[in-house]
Structure 1
Amino acid sequence: MTSAHPPAPSAFAPFRYPAFRAIWTANLASNMGSMIQSVGAAWLMTELTQSHLLIALVQAGATIPIMLLGVFAGAIADNFDRRRVMLAAQTGMLIVSAALTLTTWMGAITPMLLLFFTLAVGCGTALNGPAWQASVRLQVGPRDLPQAIALNTIAFNLARSAGPALGGLLISLSGPATGFAFNAISYVALIIVLLRWHPEVPTPQRKPMLSAIAAGLRFCAHSDPVRRVLIRGLAFGLGAAGFQALLPSLIRDRLHGTEIDYGLCLAAFGAGSIFTALWVGSVRRRWGSDKVVTFAAIIFAAAMLPVAVTRSLLPLLAAAFVAGGAWVSTLTTLNVAMQLRSPEEILGRCLSIYQAVTFGAMALGAWLLGMSADHWGLKVAILISASWLTITALFLHFVAPMPRRDEGRVTR
C-alpha cells in the first residue's frame, strides 16, 4: 500500500500567522532603510577616495563583524530571550545610523570614519542575525518553516530592488546624509513590533559563554551534513563577494556613471533575487539542494563574464539580474539546510557559525578582490571571482555534496 504525499505548502502560507505578517512587514521597511544606507555609504566612499580596496571594504565592513562576533552572538541568542536580543541590536543600529547621519551632515565624515560606522552597524547585524533566524520557528509552524525563510529572503530582496534605486535618487537630490537619516527612522517600526510581540517560549537555560560556543562548534564539526553545508557557504561567499564589493568602482571607472546607475544595478540584482525566490523552493524539492547550489554558483560565474568586459549599463543590469537569482538560490538553500539539521537548543549557535563562515568568506573575498583590482585592474579581479566560483562548484559537487533530503535532518 502506498501513501500519497501531502501537497506542498503554499509559498505564502506563513502569512496566515499574525506575528509573521507583522514582523515581515516591519522588517521589509527596515531592510529598505538599510539598503538606502548601504548605497549612500558605498557611493560616498567613491567620492572620498580613489582606492578600490577602500571602496570594497565598505561591503566587507558590513560582514566582517559577522565573522568575528557571529559565534558569540549565537551563544547569546541561545542563552537569552531572542526577542530582547533583537531589540537591543535594532536599538544599537538606530543609534549608530543617527550618529552617521549627524557626522555626514556636519561635513566631518572621512574614509576611516565611514568604515568605522559601517563596522558598527555590522556589529548590530551580527548580534541580530542568529536571534532573528532562530526566532522564525516561533512565528510559524514547522511545516511552513522553509516557506517562511524564503519569504524573509524575498523581503530582503524586495528592499534590495526598490531600496537602491530610491537611495540613488534620494542621494543625488539631497546627499547621503538624507539616506542615512531615512535608515535611522526605518528601525523604529521594527522596534515597535518587537516590543508588542510576546511569544510563549521556555526560559533559556544559560550556560557559560565559552562552553556554549564550544558545544555549537562541536556539533558542527562532528555533523558531516552540516560540515558540507559550511564548506559550500565558504566557497560561494569568497567568490560571490566580488560583484557587490567592486560594483561602485565599476560604475564610476568603467561606465563613468552616477549614484543612480549604481542604485539601478543593485535594484536589478534584487529583482532577480525576488523572481527566483518565488520558485526556487519547488526547484529544490524536485532536483535537490546539491544541484541548486552547484548550478547557481556556475550561473553566477557566467554572469560575471559580461561584467568584466562591458562598458555600458544595459548588459550590466542584465548580469546583475541573473547574479541576484543565483545569489538567492544559493543562500536560501544553505540556510534551509542548516535550519533543518540544527537542534533547537543550539540553533542560534549553529546559525551563527553558518553566518560567520559564509559572510566571513564574503568579507575576506571583498578584501582580496579589492586588492586584486588595485594591483591588476577590475577586469582581472572579476574574472578571478568567476573562475573561483566555477572551479569550486564543480569540485565540491563531488567532494562535499549538499546533504540529501533526509540526511542529518533533526526531528522535532
Structure 2
Amino acid sequence: MSPDTPPPPSTLPPSALAPFRYPAFRAIWIANLASNMGSMIQSVAAAWLMTELTSSHLLIALVQAGATIPILLLGVFAGAIADNFDRRRVMLAAQTGMLIVSALLTLTTYLDAITPLTLLFFTLAVGCGTALNGPAWQASVRLQVGPRDLPQAIALNTIAYNLARSVGPALGGLLISIVGAAAAFGLNAISYIVLIVVLLRWHPETTPRRRTSMLTAIAAGIRFCAQSDPVRRVLIRGFAFGFGAAGFQALLPSLVRDRLHGTEVIYGLCLAAFGAGSIFGALLVSSARHRWGSDRVVTAASLIFAAAMLPVALTASLPWTIVAAFVAGGAWVSMLTTLNVAMQLRSPEEILGRCLSIYQAVTFGAMALGAYALGLIADLASLPTAILVSTVWLVLTALVLRFVAPMPRRNEGQLLP
C-alpha cells in the first residue's frame, strides 16, 4: 500500500467522515473493525465462561480487570517502545502475540482443560498484547491522516470499536449458546489475521527515530506529563472516571446471572446496548465538544453515567438494564473520546507514544483497580451496593474535579492546530 497523500486543504470545517479519504486509514479502519469484533466476542465468552466456572463476584470482575491491569503495569514501557521503534512493527508484534495467545486459549477450552486461574492467565496475556499495541496504535493515527482530520479520525476509530461492541456481544452470546466458548475464542484468533495482513501492506513514510534508553525515555514522558498542567488535569479526570465506571462492565455478568437470572444471550444483548449507545455518543460528541467545551462534556458524561447506574442498582428489570446500558455507553464514549483528543492535541510528536501510554495506564489502570474494588464490595456486601458505591463516586468526583481539575480550555497547551 503506497503512502497517503492528504486531500487538498479547505476552509470549511472538516467532515466527520473526512479521514476515509485517506486509503491507509480506510483499510486499517475496516481491518480494525473486524479485529475489534473478534475481541468483543472473546471478551463476552471469557466473562460468561467465568460465571460457569465460579460463583465468586470478585473472580468474575477480575476478567475485566485482567484485560486492563497490564495497561497499568506495562503501558509506560509500551509507550517508550512505540517512540523508540517503528510503530507499525510494534503493532505487528502485538497482534501476532495476541493471535498466538487466543489460539492457545481456544485449544485449552476445546480440550475442557480451562480453570478460573488459567482463564485469568490467558486474559492477562491478551491484556499484555493490548498494552503493547495501544500506544503505537494511538500514535500511528497521525501517520494515517493530516493534522486537521486527526480529531475526526480518533472519533471514527472510537466508532469502529463501539460498532464492534454493539454487534460483537450479541453475536458472542449467540455463539456461546450454540457452539460453546471455544468456537468464540477461535473466531477471535482468526480476526487478528485480517489486521496483520493490512499492517504488512502498509508502509507509511516515517523519519528514523532517535533511540534512547528505556528508563530515560520513560522519564522524559513522565516529566512532560507531570509538568504540563493541562495534561495533568486530563489524567486526573481519566483516573476518576475509570475507577467508578469500571464497575458496570466488570459486574455485568454477575448482574445478568444473579439479578436478572439471564443467559449468555441476555448478557450479550446488554453489552450490545452499551455498544449501540457508544456509537450514538461518538456521533454527537464532536459537535457537543465544539459547542459546550470539553469540561462540560466530561462533567455531563460522568453524571449521566452515574444516573444510568441507579436503575441497575435499584431494580432487577431487563428492559431498564438495557436502557441503562445504552445511556451509559453514550456517556462512556463521550468521556473517553474527549480525553483522548485532549491528550493527542497536547502531546509532542517525539514523545507522543509515551504520553498516550501514560494516559492509558492512568485511565485503564483505574478501571482495573475499580473492577477489583467493586468486585470485592459485591462479595462482601451485595451487587446493588457495589453499583451504588460507583454511582456516588462518579457524582462526587464530577462535581469536585470541575473546580479542582477542570479540563483544558480550547487552545490551552495545544500543540496541533
TM-score by length of 1: 0.98
Q: Does residue 282 of structure 2 align to residue 277 of structure 1?
A: yes
User: Match of 2:344, SS?
Assistant: helix
Q: Distance in 2 between matches of 1:108 and 1:366?
A: 26
SS at match of 1:278: helix
The alpha-carbon deviation at position 158 of structure 1 amounts to 0.3
Pick one of 238, 244, 260 that aligns with 1:239: 244
Q: Which amino acid aligns with 2:167?
A: A
Q: How far off is 1:13 after superposition?
A: 0.4
The residue aligned with 2:50 is: 45
Distance (Å, rounded) in 2 between the aligned partners of 1:61 and 1:353: 18
**CA displacement at 1:8 relative to structure 2:** 2.1
> 1:377 aligns to what?
382
| CA–CA separation in structure 2 for the residues paired with 1:350 and 1:47 | 39
Q: Which of 304, 326, 331 pairs up with 1:326?
A: 331
Q: Does 1:214 align with 2:219?
A: yes
Q: How do residues 12-411 of structure 1 correspond to structure 2 at under 5 angstroms?
A: 12-411=17-416
Counterpart Cα distance in 2 of 1:49 and 1:273: 30
Q: Distance in 2 between matches of 1:17 and 1:177?
A: 37
Deviation at 1:311, TM superposition (A): 1.4
Change (3 A) 1:361 1:109: same
CA distance in 2, matches of 1:261, 1:206: 49
Q: Give 1:310 shift.
A: 1.9
1:205 alignment partner AA: R
Post-superposition Cα deviations, 1:212-268, rounded to whole Å, max 9, x if no partner, equal 000000000000000000000000000000000000000000011000000000000
* Structure 2: runs of 5+ lacking an equivalent: 1-9
| Aligned mates of 1:276, 1:108 — CA distance in 2 | 41
Distance, in Å, in 2 between the alignment partners of 1:280 and 1:99 is: 39
For residue 54 of structure 1, report the CA deviation from its aligned partner: 0.1
SS in 2 for 1:86: helix
Residue aligned with 1:383, SS = helix
How far is 1:309 from its partner? 1.8
Query: How many residues are treated as equivalent by the alignment?
Result: 408
Report the AA paired with residue 19 of structure 1: A
SS at match of 1:124: helix
Q: CA deviation at 1:7?
A: 3.1
Helix, strand or coil: the match of 2:262? coil
**Which residue number corresponds to residue 7 of structure 2?**
none
Distance 1:114 1:204 in 2: 38
Q: In the TM superposition, what whole-angstrom CA distance separates every residue of 1:99-141 from its partner, at most 9, and x where no partner exists?
A: 0000000000000000000000000000000000000000000
Q: Distance in 2 between matches of 1:287 and 1:312?
A: 34
Distance 1:21 1:411 in 2: 22
Q: Offset of 1:40 from its aligned partner?
A: 0.2
Give the Cα–Cα distance (whole angstroms) in 1 for the partners of residues 198 and 272 of structure 2: 27
Structure 2 distance, partners of 1:306, 1:17, is: 43
Q: Tell me the amino acid that sits aligned with residue 155 of structure 1.
A: A
Q: Distance in 1 between matches of 2:120 and 2:99?
A: 17
Structure 1 runs of 4+ aligned residues shifted over 6 Å read none
Letter in 1 for 2:72: M
Letter in 1 for 2:227: H
In terms of mean alpha carbon deviation, does 305-314 or 13-22 score higher? 305-314
Measure how far apart 1:6 and its partner are. 4.3
The residue type paired with residue 414 of structure 2 is R
Deviation at 1:279, TM superposition (A): 1.5
Q: Which amino acid aligns with 1:279?
A: L
Matched, 1:10 2:30: no
Between the aligned partners of 1:279 and 1:381, the Cα distance in structure 2 is: 30
In 2, Cα distance between equivalents of 1:359 and 1:181: 26
**CA-CA distance at 1:411 after TM superposition:** 4.0
Counterpart-to-counterpart distance in 2, 1:381 and 1:388: 11
Structure 1 portions without partners, runs of 5+:
none
Cα offsets for 1:273-328 (capped at 9, x unmatched): 00111121011011000000001000000000000022121110000000000000
* Amino acid corresponding to residue 161 of structure 1 in structure 2: S
Q: Calculate percent identity across the aligned residue pairs.
A: 80
Looking at structure 2, the residues matched to 305 and 205 of structure 1 have their Cα atoms a distance apart, in angstroms, of 51
**TM-score of the two chains, using structure 2 as the length reference:** 0.97
CA RMSD of aligned residues (A): 0.8
3-state DSSP of counterpart to 2:212: coil
